[in-house]
Structure 1
Amino acid sequence: MKNQSSPDTIAEAAEPDQAWTQAILERPGFLIRRLHQIHVSLFMEECSGFDITPVQYSIMSMVSLYPGKDQHELGQAIGVDRATLANVVARLEKRDVLRRENAQHDRRVKQVFLTQAGQDILDQMSEPARRAHARTIEALPVKGRAQFMSAMKTLTEAGNIHSRAPVKS
């Protein structure tokens, strides 16, 4: 149920100063941050029963696709810095969702694997996560969705070198 006092649009939230509202709505960074907030909210709504964040879901998905990748490789594959990745993996390991093993070639290197419980959660989350992603872009016309996704890929690939945790291809 919508709160009677909450605005319907971003523009309505800032009506007292229309020039400022228009200026901020022209900033890609502001809109990207807002869209990210909206997506996280939709993801958490759709996936509320799993107690898994979007970053955790990305890590679990990558580990499912590439079992045994080490933590450094995982961070590079999904654009998460080393400290954040280690923290998230440790939390998921405590929940018995992931397990880490020392690599045979170098005992300092930790390879990451999904546990059966982790694979079960990932399987159960597949449809709710898909719905969250679809809801994020559902306001776009169907034909515009592919263009939007293509534009986002172009921007992230072009700006990858400026990231705190660049994705390695």
Structure 2
Amino acid sequence: MPDDPAPRTAARFRSGSATLPPPAEAPDAAAAPRAVPRGADPLDALYERPGFKLRRAHQISLSVFAEECRAHDVTNTQFGVLTALRHRPGLDQVGLSQVLGLDRSTTGMVVGLLERRGLLRRDQPSTDRRRRVLALTPAGEELLDTLAPAAERARQRLLAPLTAAEEATLHALLDRVLSHHDAAVRVPLRRGEPAAED
């Protein structure tokens, strides 16, 4: 599911505002696993895995967002869908899943929920009767405006332990990892205009 809209983009870091060391060489796959020191928690190796830390950080991000937006009954993923539809008019459900990096079943479930709440609608373009273009309703637009301060508070709370420089470095490192692996995952993120459905 997509998180709070990132205030910085990969392009900003490429411009030189955050300097990173060159990527480290991949470790030797044949290297023996490190022995657990006497008295150490055997789960420490698990807790040090980057995937575990990223998953835990995602859980915390969702929790912080839910707390800040509880009064509006909107999840992080729903906020992402509403935001995408405001800034990318003309998306159909497939295009929406592409720009958010969501699988189609999750996208369909969230779209259906927001439609039932009267926050978005499906329009049929006159140029293609097979497509259903998604658009925010006036209620959806109003909710998104109302949510903006709460979403920003959630972002600030999540990053509160970091200095401005550390925050920039975090974004740059995450961008590096994401851009390296994105094309290989089952649901890649498509920045820019999504591909049209056949």
TM bucket (normalised to shorter chain) is: 0.7 to 0.9
Match of 2:89 in 1: 67
1:43-71 deviation per Cα after TM superposition (whole angstroms, max 9, x unaligned): 00000011111111001001011122111
Match of 1:30 in 2: 52
Match of 1:111 in 2: 133
How many aligned residue pairs are there? 153
CA distance in 1 between counterparts of 2:40 and 2:70 reads: 36
CA RMSD of aligned residues (A): 1.4
Query: Structure 1: which 5+ runs fail to align?
Result: 1-16
TM-score by length of 1: 0.85
Match of 1:142 in 2: 164
State percent identity of aligned pairs: 35
TM-superposed deviation, 1:30:
0.3
Work out which structure has the larger RCO, using CA pairs closer than 8 Å and 6 or more positions apart in sequence.
2
CA distance in 1 between counterparts of 2:152 and 2:111 reads: 23
2:122 is aligned with 1:79: no
TM-superposed deviation, 1:105:
2.8
TM-superposed deviation, 1:152:
1.0
TM-superposed deviation, 1:124:
0.6
Please tell me the residue identity of whatever aligns with 2:136. L
1:98-146 deviation per Cα after TM superposition (whole angstroms, max 9, x unaligned): 0111232322211110111101110011011111112112112221001
1:82-93 equivalences under 5 Å are 82-93=104-115
CA distance in 2 between counterparts of 1:151 and 1:159 reads: 13
SS at match of 1:107: coil
